[in-house]
Structure 1
Amino acid sequence: MLKIFIQFAAVTAAAAAAVVNLHPGFGKSPGKMEQRRFDSLPNRQNGQFVNDTPLHRKLNPCDASSLIKDSLKRKEHRGPSHLIPVAASEWEQEDSITWLGHSAFYLNIAGVKMLLDPMFGPAPAPMPFLAGKRYTGSLLGKITELPEIDVVLLTHDHYDHLDYRSIRRLKEKVRRFVVPLGVGAHLRYWGVNAERISELNWHESASEQDITLTLTPSRHFSGRGVRNRNQTLWGGWVIASDNAKVYASGDGGYGEHFQTLGKQYGPFDLTLMEGGQYDDRWKSVHMRPEEAVQAHKDVCGNKLLLAHWAGFTLAFHSWEEPIERALHAAEQENVTLLTPEVGRTVPIHGAVSQQLRWWQKGNCENKKQM
């Protein structure tokens, strides 16, 4: 799995030079007292958080060999040939969502302004040279455009979702962070005051004005290196007001838990389903586009927005394959799939306007080279 390869490369580089070992981008694991408190929880075993359904993630020799071969192949079509343009955003539009590429979203629901997995950095690694470039280029400058943020929600601590540079630039304009258990250790290490951080276990909720924020299970894992695997929790989010309800799956493989979540928390006006950076060799922790469409149906969603694509190359498929496969599956299943450009603000309610297949050749206005 490329994400694991990136983590391995990051840790190897850190071991090679003491100065790199001190780089704050690696984050900080929860302390021993926190770990002991976590150990009494039902989703914790042998000092690690665990999934409701055990995962089979160990690569066999054939898989490991094929991964090495695939990694050495030419990367043609795995990323766009030009920078993806970023549309102008409408931050003040109520009951709306703005996709910022990959799994980063800005939500304005009932006037509460939220960011989900605000990874604005140039690359999914503690140091940019360790990973491929963002398809839009760095979005760190876009942080200055943002209004004051009421809540930042995080799904887990992987580099493509939790970014040191982004948090450092955001922290002074964010009132509160609501995160899975243990993720607060990274934030505190990066200068976020502990009083502004709420940490939740699965099915626990926090309130923000008229919004209820509930952390839900997903089939995934956590860690920013090879020695701190699953020390922090992962999950998805239910974001609910009286007038709008959104479900964000977070990263994770397909499973029966989606039907359970639909019965417990659905229906949803909008779902944000992970459906990119997939491969049969890591299907237990990342959904394929067709599974994302099925998961949307399982949780009783109305509109669907595909996440985890058009940001970074973390798998071997072409960069536009996820949305094309999702569109085909959505048409077959009579699902409304939104396809906004990166940066475009769309309403959660109401009719869907005509959508441009902006990722196709000829629809990209920005011709700046990657």
Structure 2
Amino acid sequence: MKKQKKRMWFGIIVGIIGILCISVFAFINQPSFGRLPQGARLERIKRSPHYHDGQFNNLHPTQMMTSDEGRFGAMLSFLFRKTENLRPENAVPVIKTDLHKLKRDENVLIWFGHSSYFIQIDGKRFLVDPVFCMASPVSFVNKPFKGTDVYKPEDMPDIDYLVITHDHWDHLDYRTVKSLKDRVGKVICGLGVGEHFEYWGYGKDQLVELDWHEDATLENGFAVHCLPTRHFSGRGLKANQTLWASFLIETPSQKIYMAGDGGYDSHFEEIGKRFPDIDLAILENGQYNEGWKYIHLLPSDMAKAAKDLDAKRVMTVHHSKYALAKHPWDEPLMNEKQMQKQDSLNMLIPEIGEVVPL
């Protein structure tokens, strides 16, 4: 009898483990997770000077987790440690602008919260890191703050250039880019990210897929420069198989730098020297923590990065929609005001949805 009971329990445990394995396999093989680079794209990646030891690497050695807790401890702390004012009690002020009514000759920027924003400049439309549906693999994680979830894919006009700085869920939203597919001209992204887009039905001819320090002429008077940042990438179990990047867009009238996510490093000064007279620099501000201080821009480094770039105007993003770190939700707003007052920087500080003239 004892042997039979042991066999029965062993069978039940094996069955449960099997079901869990099948469930996890099915979950991570959903289309929203994208696809790892393969074929000719993978061969191109392997030739990149920034790819070695089976993955992309930052310019300088970068420790992901810098707290004594380690990655698992930091995760537990993030999940269970309570932080006062982590999310706003009331709805965040938002302006619902009808983008379809914008005239093509208007030079404007509209921020949608977190890192999503729209730029219309010299007759062309750029949409950067749009997340209008889900910022995580499951709907109950990374829920937007009350009042911020007002823009949807259908609110976007036809887009000439969709810019994706990296493939994390809070920057590359499967449902959003699928919804926009037939209204996007070209996709500008880092090396390897194009694999997700091809998997999701975009054509190869739509992709402008670049390595750091590669440039592309978009059309007459418009160019894009793919530049470094200090971060990481990945949507599933395997990290750093696609490139994270910052981009500088040159138009007939302006230079606009999009920093993407990433901590402070020498690249800010190098970019400022290579591209003098940047008209607008859009920097990360939010979701930072001392426990991962090298991969997100800390408040103490924001003004330093802005001064390295020597941009005429500065705007910050990566805040005011999601709580992905343990700082108070409105701390990034105070960071902006401090940069304006204490560091004498010319800051753009719009509300979500506000039309900002460029």
Q: Could you state the TM-score of these two structures normalised by the residue count of structure 2?
A: 0.87
The amino acid of 1:105's aligned partner reads: Y
Tell me the amino acid that sits aligned with residue 185 of structure 2.
Answer: R
Query: Which letter maps to 1:44?
Result: Y
Q: Is the 8 A contact 2:67 2:74 kept in 1?
A: no
* TM-aligned CA deviation for residue 211 of structure 1: 1.5
Report the alpha carbon displacement of residue 76 of structure 1 after superposing the two structures with TM. Answer: 4.1
Deviations 1:182-234 (A, max 9, x none): 0011111111122211211112122233221111100111111232x111001
- Distance in structure 2 (CA, Å) of the matches to 1:346 and 1:128: 31
Q: Distance in 1 between matches of 2:237 and 2:299?
A: 28
The 8 Å contact of residues 65 and 292 in structure 2, kept in 1 or not, is answered as no
Q: Give 1:281 shift.
A: 0.9
1:350-370 deviation per Cα after TM superposition (whole angstroms, max 9, x unaligned): xxxxxxxxxxxxxxxxxxxxx
Of 77, 80, 97, the residue aligned with 1:72 is 80
Q: Does 1:274 align with 2:284?
A: yes
Corresponding residue pairs, total:
333
- Indicate the residue corresponding to 2:173 in structure 1: 163
Residue 285 of structure 1 is matched in structure 2 by: 295
Amino acid at match of 1:83: A
Q: Percent identity?
A: 33
Q: Does 1:27 align with 2:34?
A: yes
Counterpart in the other structure of 1:95: 107
Alignment of 1:83-162 (within 5 A): 83-89=91-97, 91-92=102-103, 94-121=106-133, 123-139=134-150, 141=152, 143-162=153-172
Shift of 1:83: 3.2
Q: Go from structure 1 to structure 2 and tell me whether the alpha carbon gap of 1:112 and 1:14 turns closer, same or farther (over 3 Å shift).
A: farther
Over 3 Å counting, the alpha-carbon distance change for 1:19 and 1:321 in structure 2 is same
- Paired residue secondary structure (1:129): coil
Q: What code does the residue aligned with 1:131 have?
A: N
SS at match of 1:132: coil
Give the Cα separation in 2 of the matches to 1:108 and 1:281. Answer: 37
- Whether the 8 Å CA contact 1:151–1:177 is kept in 2: the answer is yes
Is it true that 1:318 corresponds to 2:328 in the alignment?
Answer: yes
Q: Flag structure 2 segments of 5+ consecutive residues without an equivalent.
A: 1-19
Aligned equivalent of 1:54, options 28, 52, 61 = 61
Rounded Cα–Cα distance in structure 2 between residues aligned with 1:134 and 1:190: 28
Query: 1:337 aligns to what?
Result: 347
Q: How far apart in 1 are the matches of 2:70 and 2:341?
A: 33
Partner deviation per Cα, 1:254-306 (whole Å, 9 max, x = no partner): 11211110000132111100011000111100002342222111111111111
Deviation at 1:69, TM superposition (A): 3.1
Q: Secondary structure at the match of 1:301?
A: coil
Distance 1:134 1:116 in 2: 20
Match of 1:218 among 217, 229, 247: 229
Q: Quote the Cα distance in structure 2 between the aligned partners of 1:37 and 1:57.
A: 26
| One-letter amino acid matched to 2:317 | A
Runs of 4+ in structure 1 off by over 6 angstroms are none
**8 Å contact from structure 1 (residues 306, 323) kept in 2:** no
In 2: Cα distance, 1:221 partner to 1:79 partner: 26
Paired residues for 1:162-241 under 5 Å: 162-209=172-219, 210-227=221-238, 229-241=239-251
Secondary structure (helix, strand or coil) at the match of 2:279 reads strand
Distance in 1, Cα, partners of 2:121 & 2:278? 14
Normalised by the length of structure 1, the TM-score is: 0.84
- Report the AA paired with residue 133 of structure 1: P
- 1:43-98 per-residue CA deviation (whole Å, 9 max, x = no partner) reads 11112111111101245653453552342123541111233243133543622211
The residue type paired with residue 82 of structure 2 is: R
8 Å Cα contact 1:154-1:178 kept in structure 2: yes
